[in-house]
Structures are given as structure tokens and as C-alpha cells.
């Protein structure tokens, strides 16, 4: 059997929990061969309350990385993460079209840590218009779903359902909205919608404060599941188990942050 190929077009999270680092670690845990095209370098300043520095690179360099990666033929599935600029979003769309890439997972990263301040508002519109029509699935958190749908702040499951309908109208085949800790509920609720039926994934909220990278890891796990031939609902369900395990084993990196442990599902710390 040939090894399945997975690709992330995403930012580098220097702290190691989110971004393309999360994606590559997750791709490996799923036993797929991960490729990455870096779009942005994110740094966090321990001397300034962990303030984020977000530096996109030139879109031309993103194109060149993708040319390198795709010179060996198409990948089995891909995801996007933080894209950094409208030019990079445009380049991503062009490459998806040029190589006719399938199993495209769009994680519409607009914020870090689910806060409700847009990093780059102009990118939200470009993601919606250029990338959602190419998505087999998109994986917004509550805030991002409010932005993409135009419905603003979402607080209930009914709000999530209304947003999911609007997001499907924008061209994604499936949408999974991550209620996460932002939803006013006892449970961690994710809502999957395919344009016809809603599936609610519910787990008890985990009292874990170290969950940096959970969103990226979830989308990467869906991507790798699709590469391995799972259906979208199967891939989402498995990804939910994978990320729940990762959050349970999250650990403190410093006084500001703690990443999820991407290897938790497979107990990777016991290898070798």
C-alpha cells in the first residue's frame, strides 16, 4: 500500500502547538506523509504578555513551495490554516485550481485562541469568496462561523444551525462548527452539516487549560482521515476523538500557554 500524502498551507507557530507544526505532527500520527507550505511566521513575546507577532511572507514564495511539493503529483488531501494575506489566499486558490486538488479542508483561521478580534479582517472576505467554494469541509470556530455567515455573535445551537446553512450556501460541501468553550453549554458541542442533515458531536467539556492548537489539530486530523479514505462524517468523528485525547494531555509550556499533545491518541511518548 502506498503512503497517503497530506499537505498544509499554513503559518508557523513558533510555540509548536498550533499552525503547521500541529498539522505535520497530526499528519504523522495518522500515518500519512505530510508536506507544508509556510505562509506566515507567528512569534509570541514572553516579555510583552505573549503578544503575537504575525509576519506573512511573499505570496511568490508560497507558490514556489507548492510547486516543489506538487511536482511529485497531487496530494490525497490538503488543508489551509493561517494564510496571512489576500495575495496568499489568491495563490492558494490558483494552486487548488491548477492541480485540481481534492479533499480540500478549509480551516478559516481568523483569530488566535478563539478570541473575538479579527487579525486581518480583509482576509476573512477573501477566504469566504475564494476558498469556501473549493472546500469539501470547512471548520470554523464559533467566532469564525459568525463572520463567514454574516450572523455575527453566535451563542446557541440554533444560532450555529443558522450559520451552518449560510456557510453551505457559500459553497462548502460540509461545515463543522466548533462550539468549544465559547458556547454557553455544559458540553463541548460541534455541529456538522452537509446541507441536509445536522449531526451533533457532544463530549463533556474538559477542565483543561492547555489547549493551544486544538483547532488546527482537529482540522489536520480531518484532512488525514480523508486522505486515508474515510468519509467526511467518519473523518470528523475520528478527529474529535483524536483532539479530545490531545487536549486531555495538554501541558504548560510557560506561564502564558500550553499546547495540546498531538501524540496523545497513539501514546506516542512510548515510541522507540
Binding site residues, ligand PXL, CB under 6 A: 10-13, 18-19, 42, 81-82, 109, 112, 215-216
| Residue with smaller CB distance to ligand PXL, 28 or 194 | 28
Could you give the CA distance from residue 269 to residue 199 in angstroms, rounded to a whole number?
33
Beta bridge partners of 192: 176, 199
Give the shortest CB-195-to-ligand PXL separation in angstroms: 27
Give the shortest CB-166-to-ligand PXL separation in angstroms: 23
Give the shortest CB-30-to-ligand PXL separation in angstroms: 19
Could you give the CA distance from residue 157 to residue 179 in angstroms, rounded to a whole number?
8
| Residue with smaller CB distance to ligand PXL, 18 or 62 | 18
DSSP annotation string for 81-128: ----SHHHHHHHHHHHHHTT--SEEE----SSTT-SS-S-HHHHHHII
| Residue with smaller CB distance to ligand PXL, 168 or 179 | 179
Could you give the CA distance from residue 167 to residue 147 in angstroms, rounded to a whole number?
10
| Residue with smaller CB distance to ligand PXL, 65 or 230 | 65
Where are the strands (E) in 153-211, listed by range? 174-178, 187-193, 198-204
Q: Is the CA virtual torsion 93, 107, 162, 120 positive or negative?
A: negative
Q: Which residue, judged by CB position, is nearest to ligand PXL in the bound state?
A: 19
Give the shortest CB-271-to-ligand PXL separation in angstroms: 26
| Residue with smaller CB distance to ligand PXL, 136 or 220 | 220
Give the shortest CB-13-to-ligand PXL separation in angstroms: 4
**Angstrom distances, CA of residue 2 to CA of 33, 76, 190, 232:** 10, 11, 33, 21
| Residue with smaller CB distance to ligand PXL, 41 or 268 | 41
Q: How far is CA 146 from the centre of its chain?
A: 16
Nearest to 166 by CA among 199, 201, 130, 140: 140
| Residue with smaller CB distance to ligand PXL, 143 or 230 | 143
Could you give the CA distance from residue 101 to residue 46 in angstroms, rounded to a whole number?
39
Amino acid at each position: 500500500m502506498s503512503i497517503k500524502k497530506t499537505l498544509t498551507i499554513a503559518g508557523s507557530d513558533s510555540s509548536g502547538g498550533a499552525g503547521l507544526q500541529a498539522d505535520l505532527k497530526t499528519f504523522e500520527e495518522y500515518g500519512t506523509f505530510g508536506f507544508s507550505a509556510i505562509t506566515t511566521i507567528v512569534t509570541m513575546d514572553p516579555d510583552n504578555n505573549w503578544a503575537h507577532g504575525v509576519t506573512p511572507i511573499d505570496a511568490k514564495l508560497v507558490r514556489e513551495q507548492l510547486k516543489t511539493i506538487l511536482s511529485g503529483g497531487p496530494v490525497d488531501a490538503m488543508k489551509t490554516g493561517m494564510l496571512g494575506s489576500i495575495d496568499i489566499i489568491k495563490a492558494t486558490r490558483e494552486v487548488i485550481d491548477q492541480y485540481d486538488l481534492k479533499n480540500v479542508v478549509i480551516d478559516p483561521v481568523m483569530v488566535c485562541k478563539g478570541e473575538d478580534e479579527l487579525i486581518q479582517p480583509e482576509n476573512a472576505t477573501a477566504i469566504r469568496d475564494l476558498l469556501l467554494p473549493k472546500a469539501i469541509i470547512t471548520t470554523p470556530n464559533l467566532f469564525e462561523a459568525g463572520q463567514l455567515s454574516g450572523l455575527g455573535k453566535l451563542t446557541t445551537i440554533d444560532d450555529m444551525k443558522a450559520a451552518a446553512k449560510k456557510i453551505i450556501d457559500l459553497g462548502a460541501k460540509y461545515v463543522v462548527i466548533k462550539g468549544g468553550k465559547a458556547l454557553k453549554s455544559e458540553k463541548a458541542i460541534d455541529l456538522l452539516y452537509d446541507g441536509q442533515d445536522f449531526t451533533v458531536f457532544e463530549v463533556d467539556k474538559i477542565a483543561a487549560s492547555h489547549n493551544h492548537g486544538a483547532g488546527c489539530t482537529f482540522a489536520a486530523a480531518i484532512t488525514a482521515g480523508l486522505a486515508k479514505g474515510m468519509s467526511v462524517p467518519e473523518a470528523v468523528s475520528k478527529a474529535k476523538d483524536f483532539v479530545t485525547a490531545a487536549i486531555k494531555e495538554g501541558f504548560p509550556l510557560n506561564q502564558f500557554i500550553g499546547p495540546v499533545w498531538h501524540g496523545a491518541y497513539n501514546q506516542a511518548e512510548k515510541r522507540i
